Every structure is written in structure tokens, then in C-alpha cells.
Amino acid sequence: MERYIFLDTNIYINAGYSFGSMHMKKFSELVSNDGLVLLACSTCIGEVEKHIKTDLESAVKELNKALKRREFAALRNDNLYKDKLIEMDETQAIDAVINSFHDFLNQNRAEIFSLQEIDMEEIMQDYFEKKAPFEMQKPNEFKDAIMIKALKNHQKKLNERIIVISSDKGFRQAFLGDDKFVVFEKLVDFLQYQQRTDSIQEAFEKYFENDLEYESIQDQLDDLLQSISYSFDEREEFEVVDIETEDISYEFNYAEVKDDGCAQAFLTAYFYLRMKSRYLDVNNSYYDKEDDEYIVKSYIESEEIHRFEHEIVLDFEFEASEIEKEEEDKYELTFIGVGADTYNMFVDLSEDDTLFDCIDSRSVMQEKDKRWFENNVVKCSECGKILGFNDLGNYHDYNGDPICDGCAVTNEHGFICPGCGYKHPYERMGNSGTFCIDCEEEYED
């Protein structure tokens, strides 16, 4: 699971441009190992470069002045310092740090988000209303305002939560109260939060590996799947006789940790639906046109099997374990219940979707069901797609074998003759290059 994080300009500045420091190395480890995605933009990069230039220009000038004033004369002959007390080239020093900054971005595969499509009218409105980042003391924060709007636009495209780290109160204020963003003041705050999150994630993994723990919530999970709602296309004389849920299994995906001692576990439920239904067999029914109704109705009964997967959210509480602490904190989990939104589950069994797909039917049907299925199902003779349990309304090739809508076109397997409407292999194309050899004779006559 990817997580996106934006480091404001001041985070790089506060690190002293030391991209090999302990905290920066830990950050890079998270990018490499934990699916963290670093976000940046041209404004942020340009601001960091500008600060590197101004800060190093001042520092190098002060150092060189001190050397010229012989303030370190007493150390010039000391073996430990004599090779270090030399004047520094200002341009080389600045280039070295800027290159180190870009190496950090490249190493962490920084994703650059666009500053285009910014609504300047909104920014000006925020300015006049003194909304963050336009605080009373800092009315000229247009660069920050542009980055904030661009980052919010990028979040809408990603449709994922973004972590924002900034020591600028006004910058952070612009994201507070928006659950699409998680805000930290310092990089170390995020690293500590991440360490806690990893420990809780580990606790969840152990929880769902423990059969006894799992069994304690198994009944609630199974009851949840039994409460699924089903939707169908509106179909004349179509009736669902029975639906059963079979072969249920669950897979733990990840946990989302909140600050109030609560967490949510996201699972995927895998299950099969065995659906017994019946529908009108128009081929063996009699329809009276005058009365506009069927006088004699014949039905086909079918049993279909579909495979589905659904995301389930479970609510938990966590607290630090009272067991003797090791190097990392351990956490105990308490199951609260199934997430409220999870109860709104429904499965679409529409005709265009899965009604006749019989997904994975061969692997889950009993032997007698398999034989009945293979003997009665109608498939496309070209691609094998299941078309139903009769050959009514299907397209055909020149041998009379059924083909689906997707294959009833001219392609590498053959062509559609405009005369008979059947699909033929290219060796049956006449000299006209349009009709099949059978229709071409009639066409020439």
C-alpha cells in the first residue's frame, strides 16, 4: 500500500541540508521498504536551492574571513586540523550541497506534482480573508499558497491521504480539519508515529495469525456476509429461488491507526455464491400477440456459482502492553465491532455482469453439477465465453456454431459476410473481397 508524504521547504532547511543524517536515513529506509512516496514540486525545490545558496554564501564568507584573520593560527600546525583549515570555494560548496539535495530526491524517487491548474481567484480570496497561510503577520505567503492549492489538487487526482510535514504553523493550518491529510510539525514526530504504527501493524498481523483470536470474531464476519444485499437487472419472469454463501475465507491487508487509541483493520473476504434461479424459456412457451401475454409458460431452472471478494473494515482499540517492555513498544488489541459502512454491502448479479459467467465453476461445482453444466451451457465457439443455456439470439459462424457479440466482427479469425451475416474464415472469401464464396455466386447472378 503506497502512502504519500510531502516535506515542506523548512524541513530540509531545519535538517541543515544534511541528507545523510540519522533522521533523513530513516526516512529513506521508509521510502525503500514501506511504500512511502515522497512528493515535491518546483516551488519547494527552488526554495530549498535558494536557501542553500544564501545560507552557504554567508557561512563560507564568514569561514574564509576567519581564516584570513588567522583566528585559527594556533591550530595550523596541529596534525588533526592543518589539512582542514583551508579557504573554501563558495561556488563549489554551494554546488556540492545542491547536488546532494538532488541526489536525495533521486534516491527517494521523488514524485513531482504540477503547479498548473491553480485557481488564482481562490488564492486571492484566501489572501483577502486572511486564511492560512496568509496570517496577519505574514501577508505575502503566495508561494506557500500556491504549493498548498497544488498539493490539494494532486490529492484529488491520487484519491489517497497525504502526510504533510511542516514547521510553518500557517502552512499546517491550511490542512487541519481535512481528513485527506495527516499533518506533523517535525520529521522526528512522523518517524515516531511511523514506529508506533509499525508496532501496531505487527500486533494486527499476529492477531489474525492467532486462530483463537480469529475464531472470536469469525461468527460476526460470517453473519456480515449473510446480510449482503443483491441487485439484479430487471428481467421479465426472472426469479431467484435461493442464494447460499460458500467457501468463505479472509485475508488481512493493513491497519489504519488513529490518534485516539482507535484503529481499523482492513480485510478482504473471498467467497462463492451459489444461486438457484429460474427464468422463462421463450423457446418452449407460447405467447399470444392479441392478448399480449404468455398463455403457456415454460421455465428453465439453473444453478450458477460466482466468486466475489469484498473489503471489510473492523474497528479496534489498542493500548501499550503492560508486559515488560523490550526495545520496541508492544500493543494489545481489543475488537470493538464491524465498521458501520461495511454493512452497506451489495453484490451485482446483473445479466451483463456475472449472471452467466459462472466464475471458477469448475473448481467448486460437484461432479454431477459439472457434467450438467458442460452438457447444457452454450459457449462462444471462438473465444469460449459463456452465452447462457440456450442458443437463442446468438450470432453464428458459417458452420452454425454460436459466437458472442465481441467475436461477431471481422478480425484475424475471419470476416463477416454482408450477404448471409455469418462469420467465415478468410479462405472462404470470394474474389470480390467482400462476400463469402456461397453468397458471391448469388451476387454474380
| pTM reported for the whole predicted model | 0.52
To which residue does cell 459457449 refer?
A: 379
Please tell me the predicted confidence (pLDDT) of residue 256: 78
Q: Domain 3-192 adopts which CATH fold?
A: Rossmann fold (3.40.50)
User: In this structure, are residues 282 and 325 in contact, taking their beta carbons and an 8 Å threshold?
Assistant: no
Domain boundaries, the chain: 3-192, 203-364, 382-444
Name the β-bridge partners of 257.
263
CA distance 245 to 248: 7
CA distance 342 to 346: 10
Please tell me the predicted confidence (pLDDT) of residue 352: 44
Residue 43 buriedness (CB in 10 A; 0-12 / 13-18 / 19+): middle
Q: How far is CA 122 from CA 74, 145, 175, in A?
A: 60, 10, 15
Name the β-bridge partners of 378.
388
Q: How confident is the chain (445 residues) per 10-residue block, as mean pLDDT? A: 87 89 87 88 91 87 71 58 66 91 94 80 61 57 83 92 91 88 90 80 81 72 75 63 80 76 82 77 72 72 75 82 54 71 64 40 38 71 79 88 91 91 92 88 71
